[in-house]
Amino acid sequence: MGKLSTGSAKLDRLLDGGFEPSTITLLYGEGGSGKTNMCMLAARNSALAGNRTVYIDTEGVSMERLKQICGTDFESISRNI
């Protein structure tokens, strides 16, 4: 399995292609810097690729936001997250 895109070409280049598969990745930074959105995009991208994905949220993120990110594919994507 190849690396998982972050959804940002520039960040993927910095990470030598994206997130490593089958690992735990911790993102940290200031509030409002986009960590949650990046994680949700990565989970969506992984699920779209047919992978089962574990998303651990410690902040009580809204399922509405995940629905927005997944769009019309939410039902099929959410089965793998």
Whether the per-residue pLDDT at 4 is higher than 80: the answer is: yes
CA atoms within 13 A on the CB side of 60: 0
Q: Is the pTM of this model over 0.85?
A: no
* pLDDT tens-digit map of 34-76: 888 888 888 888 888 888 888 888 878 778 888 898 888 888 8
- Per-domain boundaries in the chain: 9-78
Q: Is 42 exposed, middle or buried (CB count within 10 Å of its CB: 0-12, 13-18, 19+)? A: buried
